[in-house]
Amino acid sequence: MSQAPQRLTDIKRDAIVRAAVDEFRSAGYEATSMDRIAAAAGVSKRTVYNHFPSKEALFALMLEQLWACSQASDTLAYHADVPLQQQLRQLLMQKLDLLGDANFIDLARVAMAEIIHAPDRAHDIVCRMNDTESGVTAWIRAAIADARLASVDADFAAHQLHGLVKSFAFWPQVTLGLPPLEPAERQRVADSAVAMFLGHYARRD
């Protein structure tokens, strides 16, 4: 069955969102205006306001998209019959592939700067992120329940694991402007993180 053609209003909304993302990424939050977004999207300013009441609403949508991408990269069902090393490496490589996307890093940099500058703008989305169990945490809980990992605080262990990855593939890029890791570097980070994590938490009995 062929996909129904997209409505003109949806096409314009998509163009506005893409333009807003590009403007936030290239100019930052403060320098971005609804006029600039309208010009970049090729629509009138009235059209922009018909879809989004404010720049803050567009910025909130950008945070939503960043969150959704990050959550998707953490998704991997636990399998009792697959080696932990293989599963964990796949999970981390998914995360590292996302962190290797220059567009994602650029948007994260803008979001991080604005969250620090005006945390109220991101309050709702940050609270929801904190309340939602990540795929990594869920995977760790399943491995603990299957007696393949030591009985530990799954949230704490997940934060440790994320730290092993983000200390190389996120924070240097967001705070220092370093380029995303090359594929070989991603593999090295993933393999090292897996070895350290399982070396500490994998059950030996």
- Name the one residue in this structure whose structure tokens are 């700067």: 113
Residue 16: domain span = 1-53
pLDDT of residue 19: 92
Angstrom distance (rounded) from CA 141 to CA 137: 6
Is 58 part of any domain? no
Quote the pTM value.
Answer: 0.76
The contacts of residue 154 (CB under 8 Å, 6+ apart) are 137, 140, 141, 144
Two tokens, residue 35? 């006029």
Is 87 part of any domain? yes
Q: Are residues 143 and 182 in the same domain?
A: yes
Residues of the chain with pLDDT under 50: 1-2, 4
Q: Are residues 23 and 108 in the same domain?
A: no
Is 122 part of any domain? yes
Q: Taking the CA of residue 102 as centre, how many other CA atoms within 13 Å lie in the half-sphere pointing to its CB?
A: 6
Is 103 part of any domain? yes
What is the per-residue pLDDT across 139-171, written as a single tens digit (0 to 9) for each? 999 999 999 999 999 999 999 999 999 999 999
pLDDT of residue 8: 85
Q: Are residues 105 and 42 in the same domain?
A: no
Q: Taking the CA of residue 27 as centre, how many other CA atoms within 13 Å lie in the half-sphere pointing to its CB?
A: 15
Angstrom distance (rounded) from CA 204 to CA 32: 55
Task: Tell me if 114 sits within 8 A of 50, measured CB to CB.
Answer: no
The CATH code of the domain that includes 131 is: 1.10.357.10
Q: Are residues 163 and 96 in the same domain?
A: yes
Q: Are residues 32 and 73 in the same domain?
A: no
The contacts of residue 95 (CB under 8 Å, 6+ apart) are 73, 74, 136, 162, 165
Is 46 part of any domain? yes
Q: Are residues 121 and 189 in the same domain?
A: yes
| CA 34 from centre of chain | 25
Q: Are residues 101 and 145 in the same domain?
A: yes
Work out how many domains the chain is built from and give that number.
2
